[in-house]
Structure 1
Amino acid sequence: MNVLVTGGAGFIGSHITEGLLETGHNVITLDVLDPYYDLGIKERNIEICRETGGDRFEFVEGSITDEELVRDIISSNDIEFVYHQAAQAGVRTSVENPKKPHEINTTGLLNLLVAADDHGIKRFVNASSSSVYGEVEYLPYDEDHQNVPQSPYGVTKLTAEHYCRVWNDVYDVPTVSLRYFTVYGPRMRPNMAITNFTSRCLNAKPPVIYGDGQQTRDFTYIDDIVDANLSLLETDAADGEVMNVGSTGNITIEELAEHIIDETGTDVGIEYTAAKEADARHTHADVTKARELIDYEPSTSIREGVLKFVDWYRENRDWYEPLVLAS
């Protein structure tokens, strides 16, 4: 099958691309290579995919906001399946600059959907986010929970879901939106909590927690995310649906820091500083719907995942570790 992965040089997109290549598909990745974080990591992602897929892999540098480029890639390569992972990420950065995530996450998505309709693709999988929920009414979140996003980023992700639903219902483009819950693992963005905590501990510095540390997160290991996405190659049971893709539970940020201190074997404490604006207080996914529709079964607990990540970090520290650690 010919597959387009947008944002394919990023963390999640590159892992999905690897999974597709390992199962014999032809993959084109489109990525703008925005220096939102170290481009060396994205370049390494591209090289790993190239080594995995050989001539079945092609990288195109460009933006999903380029309507002509998007149309040309989908039509000239006979794309059958789109995994849309490209986005301007970051809850906090979206508060500082709301126009950029709107342009990329909304206008860029529309460019892809229009091109997908014109070419008659088999399925369009949209990467959504737990940020669409916002205010907690109850936990764990199921898909019927109210959506009151607390950041421009969350608004763009909810808007994208509605566009996908309309394209499924009105334009007959089969779409699925997967709501990711704080994905982590090898090659993850270096500005995420698990990377920051690990980096600081391995450099004999205490993890820094924003707020009181009692906020909770549903951290989802990257292998589970890839499994959920690849399962959509083989079923149409989820067309038109929105589904949570989370883990086996949630954990406080303070407990997370303690786990990482334990796994790194360092003798450091924990520092606390002021909470960040727009951060959700709690997240926790009910994955019943995904389990019923696509046989999704998260397999990696947070403690297992942290151990895997710390081991990977140690092995790849020479190229992955941030050049400048927070003071």
Structure 2
Amino acid sequence: MSHFKCLVTGGAGFIGSHISRRLVELGHEVICLDNFDDYYDNRLKEDNIRPLLACSNYRLVRGSILDEKILEECIKDIDFIFHNAARPGIRESIKNPMLTHEVNTTGTLRVLEAALAANVKKVIYASSSSVYGNVDQFPLKETSPTRPISPYGASKLCAENYCEIYREVYGLKTISLRYFTVFGPGIRPDLAISIFTRKALAGEDIDIFGDGNKSRDFTYIDNVIDANILAMTRGMGVYNIGGGHSITIDELARSIIRLTSSSSKIIYGKNVPGDVERTMADIDKARRELGYMPKVDVTEGLKKYIDFVQANRP
């Protein structure tokens, strides 16, 4: 592969920093744009990018995708944009839907406008399985109904639609990768795997929303990064990026307890609005058109993540 100049928006976050690291390792030039918002402790983002700051082919820009001037400057002479910047969190989006829409939808529109003006080769957009909502067709195909049940899911679907419009109407090459519950080193601290692991290692009770029977297609971060690299030269449109298997939240908690040899007990609580009942990705299209094949399954991924947490405990 030739060496390219790449912009990673949200590049100090969990997925963005992993993409940046892989691109740097491959010899590409990387500009990381991140606004270091206050959604969670920024020290975690600083930790994500610390090893990259010493690399000659990596540059950090602190700023927002909503700032047209900064965006224009960052996209100048860029070949590929990996657009990961977003206001995350389903429950947070229910509390503040306007902010979620502004960052996730309007922000994506600004990125697409700037990309079109700069003749970018391709925009690789980080979408989400949240766009599906609660449907009764499994595994989920890219052609399955999209019925998001949270402002977050709606904002990601709207941004996806803009990507398709800019591809079909304006000729800008775009691809949307629908991630299914990504986890691994650097995962946000408010997500279940992070919370369950820390609780298990401390021997504390693990609280689950509902009866634990909700299920998810958990996808290890290395699989997602592979998909992003493949998407540089292959595919257009929408693709599911998942592990291809689904486990319940109860099974997840029990696996973490077992892998950590923990004495933690599971406590079941009330359901929360916005959480879908089940996700499981049909990845046939991604396998066929991108060459995507998840290499790390849930159990191996959990072991890797637990080892990371244990190695980095205070």
* TM-score for both structures, normalised by structure 1: 0.94
Task: Using the TM superposition, give the Cα deviation of residue 230 of structure 1 relative to its aligned residue in structure 2, in angstroms.
Answer: 0.6
User: Which residue of 2 is the match for residue 221 of structure 1?
Assistant: 220
Task: Write the distance in 1 (CA, Å) between the matches of 2:200 and 2:264.
Answer: 7
Answering whether residue 44 of structure 2 is matched by residue 34 of structure 1, we say no
Contact 1:248–1:301 (8 Å) recurs in 2: no
Answering whether residue 296 of structure 2 is matched by residue 293 of structure 1, we say no
Which amino acid is 1:60 matched to? V
Stretches of structure 1 that go unaligned for 5 or more consecutive residues are 319-327
Contact 2:140–2:281 (8 Å) recurs in 1: yes
User: Which residue of 1 is the match for residue 274 of structure 2?
Assistant: 278
Contact 2:199–2:264 (8 Å) recurs in 1: no
User: Which residue of 2 is the match for residue 249 of structure 1?
Assistant: 245
Answering whether residue 305 of structure 2 is matched by residue 309 of structure 1, we say yes
Task: Using the TM superposition, give the Cα deviation of residue 169 of structure 1 relative to its aligned residue in structure 2, in angstroms.
Answer: 0.8
SS at match of 1:148: coil
Contact 2:215–2:246 (8 Å) recurs in 1: yes
User: Percent of aligned pairs with the same residue?
Assistant: 46
Task: Using the TM superposition, give the Cα deviation of residue 268 of structure 1 relative to its aligned residue in structure 2, in angstroms.
Answer: 2.0
User: Which residue of 1 is the match for residue 74 of structure 2?
Assistant: 73
Task: Using the TM superposition, give the Cα deviation of residue 71 of structure 1 relative to its aligned residue in structure 2, in angstroms.
Answer: 1.1
Task: Using the TM superposition, give the Cα deviation of residue 143 of structure 1 relative to its aligned residue in structure 2, in angstroms.
Answer: 0.6
Contact 2:211–2:268 (8 Å) recurs in 1: yes
Task: Using the TM superposition, give the Cα deviation of residue 204 of structure 1 relative to its aligned residue in structure 2, in angstroms.
Answer: 1.2
Number of matched pairs? 311
* 1:44 aligned residue (47, 59, 63): 47
Task: Write the distance in 2 (CA, Å) between the matches of 1:251 and 1:269.
Answer: 19
Which amino acid is 1:255 matched to? E
Task: Write the distance in 1 (CA, Å) between the matches of 2:146 and 2:100.
Answer: 18
User: Which residue of 1 is the match for residue 204 of structure 2?
Assistant: 205
User: Which residue of 1 is the match for residue 57 of structure 2?
Assistant: 56
Task: Write the distance in 1 (CA, Å) between the matches of 2:90 and 2:190.
Answer: 12
Stretches of structure 2 that go unaligned for 5 or more consecutive residues are none
Task: Write the distance in 2 (CA, Å) between the matches of 1:49 and 1:183.
Answer: 22
User: Which residue of 2 is the match for residue 103 of structure 1?
Assistant: 102
Task: Using the TM superposition, give the Cα deviation of residue 60 of structure 1 relative to its aligned residue in structure 2, in angstroms.
Answer: 0.5
User: Which residue of 1 is the match for residue 9 of structure 2?
Assistant: 6
Contact 1:29–1:60 (8 Å) recurs in 2: yes
User: Which residue of 2 is the match for residue 321 of structure 1?
Assistant: none
Structure 1 runs of 4+ with >4 Å offset: none
SS at match of 1:243: strand
Task: Using the TM superposition, give the Cα deviation of residue 232 of structure 1 relative to its aligned residue in structure 2, in angstroms.
Answer: 1.9
Which amino acid is 1:19 matched to? R
Which amino acid is 1:233 matched to? M
Task: Write the distance in 1 (CA, Å) between the matches of 2:154 and 2:226.
Answer: 26
Task: Using the TM superposition, give the Cα deviation of residue 139 of structure 1 relative to its aligned residue in structure 2, in angstroms.
Answer: 0.7
SS at match of 2:56: helix
Task: Using the TM superposition, give the Cα deviation of residue 50 of structure 1 relative to its aligned residue in structure 2, in angstroms.
Answer: 1.9
Contact 1:248–1:299 (8 Å) recurs in 2: no
Task: Using the TM superposition, give the Cα deviation of residue 272 of structure 1 relative to its aligned residue in structure 2, in angstroms.
Answer: 1.0
Task: Using the TM superposition, give the Cα deviation of residue 48 of structure 1 relative to its aligned residue in structure 2, in angstroms.
Answer: 2.1
Which amino acid is 1:63 matched to? S
Task: Write the distance in 2 (CA, Å) between the matches of 1:295 and 1:49.
Answer: 28
Deviation string, structure 1 residues 54-96 (Cα, Å, up to 9, x no partner): 1210000000011121112112xx1110000000001111001
Task: Using the TM superposition, give the Cα deviation of residue 266 of structure 1 relative to its aligned residue in structure 2, in angstroms.
Answer: 1.1
Task: Write the distance in 2 (CA, Å) between the matches of 1:177 and 1:279.
Answer: 22
Deviation string, structure 1 residues 164-189 (Cα, Å, up to 9, x no partner): 00101111110000000000000100
Task: Write the distance in 1 (CA, Å) between the matches of 2:278 and 2:127.
Answer: 17
Deviation string, structure 1 residues 106-155 (Cα, Å, up to 9, x no partner): 11111111111111010000000000000212111001100010001111
Contact 1:245–1:287 (8 Å) recurs in 2: yes
Task: Using the TM superposition, give the Cα deviation of residue 234 of structure 1 relative to its aligned residue in structure 2, in angstroms.
Answer: 2.9
